[in-house]
Structure 1
Amino acid sequence: MVAGMPPSDPPLPPPARTGRPRSVEAHAAILRATRAALVELGWSKLTMGDVASRAGVAKTTLYRRWANRSELVVDAVAVLFDELRLPDRGSLMADVEGVVLQFAALLDRPEAKTALMAVVAESTRDEALRERIRSAIVDRQKRLVLLGRERAQARGELPYEDDPAQAARNADLIFDVIAGAVVHRALVSAEPVDTEWARNFALLVVGGLTAGAEASSPPEAPPRR
């Protein structure tokens, strides 16, 4: 220290970490560990203890957030489904084709394939698990149907719907048709979802939507003489 100069302040300690960011990091680490364990061990050998060890957290941390491994696996795979996007490709036909190929690529990932087949099988005996699948995966992904329909309406490819309840039912039906067909093709039939199949399927879906819209439109009044 130089004579005559006041002592300098001691260096400030690093800011304390709050609980929230650590909680978010731990949550993400647990979901990653769950997907890794599924790929390596399979559903039958997956345990909460193994996931906790891989994620570097106490097993009690898992049980504070998930009642059992089924709930944990649903949330782990739901994160993957949240990666699905619907960029504007310029037409309803192209939008449907694009999301079908995205969805099929997701289902081709080992962790998604293993997880989805396992939790769907378990959910046949567990109503609470079925509800979790609906809320964490199905309901969240219906956003893609709503976005695609809004774009198609703005382009004039589909009419606007006056009845909100009917519009919601139609959105549910569209989602069921697309998701059900792709899951059956990829996971049940184990057939490829390639560009040709996606294009033909999109043509079928869009043809049905436009035909249904025309059938529901009121007939034009005959011209006056």
Structure 2
Amino acid sequence: MGLCDLAREFVVAELSAHRPAETSAPLHQVIAERWSPRVLDPKAEITDGQLRALFEAARWAPSWGNSQPARYLVGKRGDPTFERIYATLTRGNKSWAGSAGALVLGIAVTRGEDGEPVPYAEYGLGLATQNLVLQAVAEGLVAHQMAGFSPDAAKAAFELPEGMEPLVAIAIGHFGDGEGVDPGLVERDTKPRSRKPLDELVFGSDWGTPAF
């Protein structure tokens, strides 16, 4: 066994779905445990019950005037909807997202039936999708949100009507063991998680003056 093989075995051994955030205050487990892995199990399946729970969580997200502008297309691995969503992904995301148990396309309803703009539609989709990915953690799943897809290709593939704007693709599945996975992906999924500190994000008496 060469040094490269030994290094790969070491990195694979470091893989773990359990990578809680290092925080300055205690967080709920589903928030602390949420992250966006790329190493997924290509054989594990997602049940209809699990998917239903994810979209039920999304349904109960807040939205402007209860307008509920979030819509989703979902396909399980092996079905035509999965393949059509997969085809819209960038090459980099295609390199790993095919192992997901399900692919989801998040769509914002930006215009109502009267043709008028729906206020904060994108924000509403974001809130609903965060509910969805947190419920995925609660279900023992992982979810990776992707901007790397073609909205125009998605519109064409699914013949979306006017006012329906695809904004995010989401890979949902089970964490994998790294066997047979591109070493670069494995390495990315073992790097330390990080965020800017609160004193750079939350201000108090004046702009730039930390609140904490």
TM over 0.5: no
Which structure has the highest helix share of the two? 1
TM-score bracket relative to the smaller structure: under 0.3
Structure-1-length-normalised TM-score = 0.20
Which structure has the highest strand share of the two? 2
> Between Structure 1 and Structure 2, whose CA radius of gyration is higher?
1
Structure-2-length-normalised TM-score = 0.21
